[in-house]
């Protein structure tokens, strides 16, 4: 383990945030514009109307932070893998770089499990909440306008 002071850690995080300031700004602009114009933020839902594999993760994260574990599991049960996966990426980036391959392996397993969970949830739950269909999607609007 590398020895880092708190000031070093804060400096490295600050440098990383400065390095990605434009993508972060574009992301905020996209989310704001998408929500204002469609009431949605997911690009897949906006384009096709179908929920994406990460559907419910933001709401599930909120429920985890507020101690509502059951609600979090209902929104998207993979949140319980994503939280440690993101924490592992953070720790390997800033404190334990020698363990990076393990964090990446965990991230890949988490992504694969998310896709499996999505497939099962779509087969069992769709179109019931939280996996609802967005009827005003761009593909549907476009197809209706040309037919």
What confidence tens digit (pLDDT) does each residue in 39-93 have? 999 999 999 999 999 999 999 999 999 999 999 999 999 999 999 999 999 999 9
Quick one: pLDDT band at residue 2, thresholds 50, 70, 90?
A: low
State what percent of residues in the chain have pLDDT above 70: 97
pLDDT at 91: 94
Neighbours of 50 (CB within 10 A): 18
* Spatial distance between the Cα atoms of 125 and 109, rounded to a whole number of angstroms: 23
- Whether residue 130 is preceded by a cis peptide bond, meaning omega within 30 degrees of 0, is yes
DSSP secondary structure code for residue 77 in this structure: T
Give the mean model confidence (pLDDT) for residues 103-125: 96
> For the whole model, what pTM was predicted?
0.84
Give the pair of three-digit tokens for residue 87: 């924490």
1 has a pLDDT exceeding 60: no
Nearest Cα neighbor of 15 from 94, 117, 101 is 94
Give the three-state DSSP class for 86. helix
* Spatial distance between the Cα atoms of 71 and 37, rounded to a whole number of angstroms: 28
End-to-end Cα separation, the chain, in angstroms: 63
């Amino acid at each position: 383990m590398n020895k880092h002071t708190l000031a070093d850690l804060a400096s490295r995080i600050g440098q990383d945030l400065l390095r990605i300031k434009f993508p972060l700004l574009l992301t905020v602009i996209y989310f704001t514009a998408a929500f204002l114009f469609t009431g949605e933020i997911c690009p897949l839902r906006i384009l096709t109307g179908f929920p994406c594999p990460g559907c419910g993760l933001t709401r599930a994260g909120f429920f985890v932070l507020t101690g509502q574990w059951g609600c979090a599991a209902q929104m998207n049960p993979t949140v319980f893998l994503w939280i440690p996966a993101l924490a592992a990426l953070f720790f390997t980036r800033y404190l334990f770089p020698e363990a990076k391959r393990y964090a990446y392996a965990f991230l890949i397993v988490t992504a694969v499990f998310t896709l499996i969970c999505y497939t099962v949830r779509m087969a069992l739950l769709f179109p019931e909440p939280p996996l609802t269909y967005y009827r005003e999607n761009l593909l549907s609007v476009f197809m209706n306008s040309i037919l």
